[in-house]
Chains A and B, each alone.
Chain A
Amino acid sequence: MSIYHDLILDHYRNPRNRGELKHATHSAQANNPTCGDRLGMHILVKNDTILDVKFSGSGCAISQASASLLTEAIKGKSVKEALALEPKNVFELLGVTLSPARLKCGLLSLETFKKAFLKNTR
């Protein structure tokens, strides 16, 4: 089966939570040097809950759809719950298993999300 199935294409064409947050408490940027994808994550945390999250940047369908799906999934979660997400959870959201060559595309959003918290708690 092609990894370009309807759910992924829908989130690629109509991304959810795309943009920036004026009052973000946490944010991070990351890129994928092999394909030039750039991603930003902007998060608003209050009382240990993710009140809002948006993503910015550009990239391939897989990286954009995964960012869209991930932001949907973590909004409203506690920070602890969201940070506990693992690559397998992203694959569940995407509904596909990615080949090694596309892993970085699919996991860039999770990596960027986690980076935002690493940076700010240091």
Chain B
Amino acid sequence: MAYTSDIRNHFPIFRHHPDLTYLDSAATTLKPETVIDAEREYLERYSTNVGRGLYPLAEKATDTFEMTRQKTAAFIGARNEKEVIFTDGATASLNLAARLLESLVTPKDNILATVLEHHSNFLPWKELATRTGAEFRVAPIDTDECVDRDALVDMTDEHTKIVAFSAVSNVIGGINPVSEIVKRIKEKNPHAVVVVDAAQAIGHQPIDVSLWNADFVAFSAHKAFGPTGVGVLFGKEALLETLPPVSFGGGMVLESCAETPKYREIPFRFEAGTPNIGGVIAWGAAIDFMKNIGVENIRAHEETLTKYALEKLSGAFGKTIRLIGPKDAKKRSGIIAFAIHGMHPHDIAHLLGESNICVRAGEHCAAPLHRALNLDATTRLSFSVYNSKEDIDRLIKRLKEIRKIL
């Protein structure tokens, strides 16, 4: 597959909206036909439950579901599929991680997050600290408006139980060097559990969780061409083996009648209830889609677009625009947040929307970061495989018209 208009042909939404300029992939990506087909095929042809049926259709559902677990493990560099827990999304994954770790946290401990986290990688830790009496620490941003790595490492001490940070900020788009950060944290405190929010990294850059050496990694399928309602929590096998389940029900228990119930092996004891089977299977098709293109090619394409958009925006708006984050596109994922003097992000997004140009405006679920940047709100563009330089040209042209309107 090449980066021409061909790639748009894989996304049926463009047949329904031929003049759509979709620049909101950090919220959710559009869905390829193969992903839609996979979910439809499950619903239409073998919509049975997983894990317990003894008839061929249920076996097919179980096999396809479990094959997707293996596929996911391989895609993210997990050592084996036992390290892959399916959830409802990145938010559910991070909340699950917080619940799983709760029994390990004491009032003497501290939990460390960063100011640029999405609320879903901030609030679960803040709440966990409140529940356990632990101290909640928040690392600042550096001059590039990325995680201040030195501060994060400095704030880690012998009482640090958990360190949570994102691989890519959902506002700034800066790529954090995960392996380096994890290594430095572990040198300071080998017992600190490191949790990485990879929601904005999955599908935008090659991911190798074994190389990262993080204890937990969370992401959603829907930000990487999969359906909504599916997420993954990767956890290191040795750590997961020590953790009891926190959600109870069908599919996760061995002996329920005993006074002390016995639970299944990992990862199944963390997956109570019927999962989103069709969604997980469709996520498998999304992995195939990304592998066919090559995640490194997606990364290269987004870097080209980011560089182009940064140049065009600063060319068009000069000193009146504040582009958040690193100046160098190599240090950024395909996300650009900006503020233009005298133009409120909500007005910009609304008026762009009237021209079928989709961007996001507001705080992007990252209020602490906006306070740190001293901004009420920003406008955010985010790219994926179906975007082109023409999309950016169209955006700039319309932004110039909007400046005249407002």
Contact = CB atoms under 8 A, between A and B. Distances in A.
A35 B346 contact: yes
B377 interface: yes
Nearest to A102: B350
A38 B344 CA distance: 12
B376 A3 contact: no
Category for how many chain B residues contact A: 10 to 19
A75 B181 CA distance: 59
B2 interface: no
B376 A2 contact: no
B370 interface: yes
B54 interface: no
A63 to B, nearest CB: 8
Contacts of B345: 35, 60
Interface in A1-48: 2-4, 9, 12, 33-38
A60 B363 contact: no
A89 interface: no
A59 interface: yes
B406 interface: yes
A36 B347 contact: no
B351 interface: yes
Contact of B362 (A3, A4, A36, A62): A36
B361 interface: yes
Contact of A2 (B346, B354, B367, B370): B354
A58 interface: yes
B377 A35 contact: yes
Nearest to A13: B406
A51 interface: no
B57 to A, nearest CB: 41
B377 A36 contact: yes
Interface residues of A, number: 18
Nearest to A104: B346
Interface in B354-386: 354, 361-363, 367, 370, 375-377
A50 interface: no
Contact of A36 (B351, B376, B405): B376
A61 B344 CA distance: 7
A5 B48 CA distance: 54
A9 B363 contact: no
B367 A60 contact: no
Given A61-B347, A102-B350, A35 B367 contact: no
B351 A2 contact: yes
A105 interface: yes
A35 B350 contact: no
Nearest to B365: A34
B367 A33 contact: yes
Interface core residue of A9, A35, A36 (most chain B CB under 10 Å): A36
B351 A60 contact: no
Interface core residue of A9, A12, A38, A61 (most chain B CB under 10 Å): A61
A12 B344 CA distance: 11
Contacts of B350: 3-4, 60, 102
A65 B278 CA distance: 47
Given A3-B350, A34-B362, A61 B406 contact: yes
A116 B21 CA distance: 43
A37 B406 contact: no
Interface in B372-406: 375-377, 405-406
Interface string B246-282: 0000000000000000000000000000000000000
The 9 closest A-B pairs by CB, nearest first: A36-B376, A60-B346, A36-B377, A60-B344, A35-B346, A61-B347, A35-B362, A60-B347, A35-B377
Given A36-B370, A37-B346, A38-B376, 11 more contacts: A3-B350, A4-B405, A34-B363, A35-B344, A35-B377, A36-B363, A36-B376, A60-B345, A61-B344, A62-B346, A62-B347
20 contacts: A3-B350, A4-B350, A9-B405, A34-B362, A35-B344, A35-B346, A35-B361, A35-B362, A35-B376, A36-B363, A37-B376, A58-B376, A59-B346, A60-B345, A60-B346, A60-B350, A61-B347, A61-B406, A62-B347, A102-B346
Interface of B: 344-347, 350-351, 354, 361-363, 367, 370, 375-377, 405-406
